[in-house]
Amino acid sequence: MRTSILAAADLDELIQSLKAAGYQVIGPVRDDAAVVYDDINSATDLPRGWVDEQEKGHYRLLPAGDDRYFGYTVAANAWKRFLNPPRKRLWRVVRQDGKLQFIPESDSAPPLAFIGVRSCELHAIHIQDRVLIDGAHCDEGYRQRRRHLFTVAVNCTRAAATCFCTSMHTGPRVELQSDLVLTELLDEHGHRFLLETGTDAGHRITASLPLMPATDDDTALAESRINIAREQMLAGPRQFDSSGIHNLLFSNMESPAWDAVAERCLSCANCTLACPTCFCFAVEDTTDLTGDHAERWQRWDSCFNGAFSHVHGGSVRNSTRARYRQWMTHKLAGWVDQFGQSGCVGCGRCISWCPAGIDITEQLQAIAEGDAS
Amino acid sequence: MATTAPTTAVPPSPKARVAVWKFTSCDGCQLSLLDCEDELLAVTEQVEIAYFMEATSRQLPGPYDLSIVEGSISTPEQLELIQSVRAQSRFLLVIGACATAGGIQALRNAADINDYIRVVYATPEYISTLATSTAISDHVKVDFELRGCPINKMQLLEVINALLNRRRPLVADHAVCVECKLNGTVCLATTRGANCMGPVTQAGCGALCPKYHRPCFGCYGPKENPNVSSLANVWRSEHGASTAHVSRTFSSFNTAAPAFAQVARGNGTVNDDE
């Protein structure tokens, strides 16, 4: 691990270095009303000077009052969109002279570089690796994109009200391996980044950058800034002990809290589609009018959709209660049995992007209260 | 064998025979078929248009392999015609909010039809109509419903395509929200407090309005398993919407769809505080 200082004015050189190395660079940009991850060409595309206000069913972008590039917390969308696209063709088949010719899909996309990956999001990517690469059925397209992925992680120096990575032990400090890790520093000594280089690829990309040595003061300042985010969460309403969730949920499958949440839940699927670890998809076959050409497509699906659990005769989970319970118990408990870790990283997206303002941490609390009584 | 004469008086057509019918509607949905400019030739290579008054004056008698029905049942004559259409059709596809839910004209269902007739027509005694505007499925067995006001022409092609290829049509019944998320459209409800009908409305339009920063109008009617009363409560308690506003928003193209009707008429499970 090498630690150095990159002046904020030179951040663009990092982006240009990635582009020169052939990467498609993706990072935070300001959409009309939110920070979203999208293609970026230069540092001017970044949402400099904007922060997010997040609460239950609520997201607003506000002027930060300073020039920080990464003052916001997590974007509206998750990085999964780029590693596991919402819609992708799997193969085509052509019928000619009574014979079928199958044509596999080839992925010729350039390697991806993500700028601004938060600790919880790095955990989410690792969780999806377990599902999409390590399982019995490896998603080859995902594996390819993942293998060539370059990450520039960013330590959080501020937490949104919806953040609870301290409860899920996934942040705020970046601890999983990242090619580069930035901590944004802004004080009387100037606007700069503490840059940690964690891999050979990271060394190659930063070799040409005008880096300066980091002082002990810089390192201490970075830690104190990360601590601000940590303290905000520790003092917030979404700090809880997550160690007993698995047994709590599996021993409360008939809790009245499921009925209460089903009264509010819209089964609209927003939580699952915003979630950085939800990976479920549907597979659909299409034909042209002649029936001589067919294609198989994969698209994001959700356990909140009726068709998701449709088997012969109908949907297995017809009620909203059954769907919400399935989602939450899988995310927080079944996932542990299946993949060896929780499926929740505490990013808070399911809370902010729920149009009904349902809070998974409150639901957990409601079940725990029912359990105690 | 090549010279064998046909054994029936009318040789069976190799193409599926299609009829397009209009009931009470604005014609917009059947126009979607003509709007398939790039695909229309391919369609007519696969099917024979046997009856489609909007496109051709040629009228071939039934039976038909596929009848596409637009519009609601709102007159005494239509009560009989729809039975005749059903009897002549192997597969009955109904298209649009009028045919699937009664349409905007179903606003009459919650009022006195004679009040409307007096207000709208100079000579009310000329008017012969039913007291209600109802969906086709209220009168005959329907094989497939395509939602929308108007329908999405690509979905219409998909249903015809699926029928020709004997497969299930890819027409999702989940929320518009799914399309927004797949498109990467940022949620208007959570970022602007918009009273968006997306969470209770069936997808199919491609989440067109939210792409242009307009909340969903509910053109496609209720999604499967909709929780309309919860959404109405959010609008009222979080967005400050009045009961009248909530009622008006649901009193539109799909006002008579049962899930929307309860809120449209203000007598659902919404807590009335006005």
| Residue B1: pLDDT band with limits 50, 70, 90 | very low
The predicted pLDDT at position A330 comes to 98
Name the residue facing B173 among A286, A307, A319 (closest C-beta): A307
Q: How far apart are CA A68 and CA A185, in angstroms?
A: 8
- Sorted by where each begins, the domain ranges of chain A are 2-87+109-234, 245-284+301-372
Residues contacting A282, CB < 8 A, separation 6+: A298, A299, A300, A301, A307, A308
Q: How far apart are CA B69 and CA B86, in angstroms?
A: 10
Q: How far apart are CA B254 and CA B221, in angstroms?
A: 5
For chain B, percent helix, then strand, then coil, each to nearest 5?
Answer: 40, 15, 45
Residue type, B274: E
Asked if A268 lies within 8 A of B198 by C-beta distance, the reply is yes
Residue B185 corresponds to which tokens in the numbers above?
């459209």
- ipTM exceeding the 0.95 mark: yes
Phi, psi of A2 (to 5 degrees): -110, 135
Interface probe with B: pick from A266, A284, A286, most Cβ of B within 10 Å: A266
Q: Which CATH superfamily is domain B16-164 in?
A: NADH:ubiquinone oxidoreductase-like, 20kDa subunit (3.40.50.700)
Residue A237 corresponds to which tokens in the numbers above?
């309403």
The predicted pLDDT at position A373 comes to 53
| Residue B265: pLDDT band with limits 50, 70, 90 | confident
Asked if the bond preceding A28 is cis, omega within 30° of 0, the reply is no
- Sorted by where each begins, the domain ranges of chain B are 16-164, 176-264
Interface probe with B: pick from A59, A60, A267, A358, most Cβ of B within 10 Å: A267
Kindly list the residues from chain B whose CB atom is less than 8 angstroms away from the CB atom of residue A274: 181
Judged against a pLDDT cut of 90, whether residue B266 lies above it is answered with no
The predicted pLDDT at position A372 comes to 66
SS (H, E, C) chain A: CEEEEEEHHHHHHHHHHHHHCCCEEEEEEECCCCEEEEECCCHHHCCCCEEEEEECCEEEEEECCCCCCCCCCCCCCCCHHHHCCCEEEEEEEEEECCEEEEEECCCCCCCEEEEEECHHHHHHHHHHHHHHCCCCCCCHHHHHHHHCCEEEEECCCCCCCCCCHHHHCCCCCCCCCCCEEEEEEEECCEEEEEEEECCHHHHHHHCCCCCEECCHHHHHHHHHHHHHHHHHHHCCCCCCCCCCHHHHHHCCCCCHHHHHHHHHCCCCCHHHHHCCCCCCEEEEEEECCCCCEEEEEEEECCCCCHHHHEECCEECCCCHHHHHHHHHHHHHHHHHHHHCCCCCCCCCHHHHCCCCCCCHHHHHHHHHHHHHC
Nearest to A225 by CA among A257, A269, A185: A185
Residue listed under structure tokens 């839940």: A265
Residue A348 corresponds to which tokens in the numbers above?
């808070």
Give, for all 373 residues of chain A, the pLDDT tens digit.
Answer: 789 999 999 999 999 999 999 999 999 999 989 999 999 999 999 999 999 999 999 999 999 999 999 999 999 999 999 999 999 999 999 999 999 999 999 877 899 999 999 999 999 999 999 999 998 889 999 999 999 999 999 999 999 999 999 999 999 999 999 999 999 999 999 999 999 999 999 999 999 999 999 999 999 999 999 999 999 999 999 999 999 999 999 999 999 999 999 999 999 999 999 999 999 999 999 999 999 999 999 999 999 999 999 999 899 999 999 999 999 999 999 999 999 999 999 999 999 999 999 999 999 999 999 986 5
Judged against a pLDDT cut of 70, whether residue B267 lies above it is answered with no
> Which whole number is the average pLDDT over B40-46?
90
The predicted pLDDT at position B270 comes to 38
- Sign of the dihedral through C-alpha A338, A342, A347, A353: positive
Looking at A193-197, B134-138, B268-272, which range is the least confident one? Answer: B268-272
Name the residue facing A270 among B167, B181, B184 (closest C-beta): B181
The predicted pLDDT at position B2 comes to 42
Kindly list the residues from chain A whose CB atom is less than 8 angstroms away from the CB atom of residue B189: 57, 355
| Residue B137: pLDDT band with limits 50, 70, 90 | very high
Helix (H) / strand (E) element for B249: namely helix B243-250
The predicted pLDDT at position B4 comes to 44
CB B50 within 8 A of CB B120: no
Asked if B178 lies within 8 A of A288 by C-beta distance, the reply is no
CB atoms within 10 A of CB B224: 16
Asked if A57 lies within 8 A of B192 by C-beta distance, the reply is no
